[in-house]
Amino acid sequence: MNAISNAIATRDNGPGALVAQHRDDIELVMPSHMQKRVGAWVRTTQGLLRRDEKLLKAAQNDPGQFMAVLLDAARLGLEPGTEQYYLVPRWNKKKGCTEVTGVRGYQGEIELMYRAGAVSSVIVEVVYDNDRFEYRPGRDERPLHEINWDAVDRGELRLVYAYAVMKDGATSKVVVLNKGHIAKAMAKSDSASGKYPHLSPWSTDTEAMWLKTAAHRLTKWVPTSAEYIREQLRAHADVAAEQAPPTAVLPQPLTTEPVEDEVVEGEFVDEDEVA
């Protein structure tokens, strides 16, 4: 078999082909609004593998782990290989090789909050040393952040903050994190503390990871898609049950004809409990 045939065989049996083979599984777990785009989603993922040799090698080392990561991105309705959802080669000590891990980005966190339908806007910003930033909990509803856009150098990253404006106009809890908070979050990251930290988004896209950390903390105070929709469905079901008129029991018409004794067979049926 020549070099071209080997390349074709490798391509047809590689991670890119695996993604295509599992297209139906990917579509099945996707939110309904994403299912029409599953073809583009698959092609984009295959393109990532062609452009990134390290990612391709990690996917080849453990195709099962690679597919688990992709299914997680699909379930969340996020685009892999973007600032919504990073695909990162990570060193696995037990296996002695790299594998693909998924890291949700700040745009992914924000997307899930918007998709829930409870917020009108989400603000996530970093603060540099030369910016003006003021926020006093209990006094200020929202932070004051002034940036000198003419400054050639805004200095080093100093803080990051996040909050949401709800549909009713109220402001959510304001999350403010400093360098210490970010350092603790980074220390817990497998991709940042592994054998190849230079491949981690903490190294390649530091500002975005500060934003992601703040956005992720905000999700504790702002509904994301799954939990919010679940709560809304329960609420609608409860309201519908309260407003439903009672079922009327109609009297049976009287009959003058004699009724013979009759044995009626029946069974008990357990109703499914509504989750």
User: Is residue 147 domain-shared with residue 209, that is, in the same domain?
Assistant: yes
User: Is residue 112 domain-shared with residue 20, that is, in the same domain?
Assistant: no
Summarised one tens digit per residue, pLDDT across range 84-130 is: 999 999 988 899 999 999 999 999 999 999 998 899 999 999 999 99
Q: What does the pLDDT read at residue 19?
A: 96
Residue 256 lies in a domain: no
Could you list the residue range(s) of the whole structural domain that residue 220 is in? 107-226
Summarised one tens digit per residue, pLDDT across range 223-259 is: 886 544 555 556 556 555 655 555 544 455 444 444 4
Give CB contacts under 8 A, 24+ apart, made by 90-97: 90/58, 90/190, 90/191, 90/194, 90/196, 91/194, 91/195, 91/196, 92/62, 95/61, 95/62, 97/58, 97/61, 97/62
Residue 72 lies in a domain: yes
User: Is residue 77 domain-shared with residue 29, that is, in the same domain?
Assistant: yes
Q: Which residues sit opposite 87 in a β-bridge?
A: 102
User: Is residue 64 domain-shared with residue 128, that is, in the same domain?
Assistant: no
CA angle (24, 30, 31) in 5-degree steps: 140
Q: Can you tell me the distance from the alpha carbon of 41 to that of 34, in angstroms, rounded to the nearest whole number?
A: 9
User: Is residue 92 domain-shared with residue 119, that is, in the same domain?
Assistant: no
The number of distinct structural domains making up the chain is 2
Q: Is the pTM of this model over 0.75?
A: no
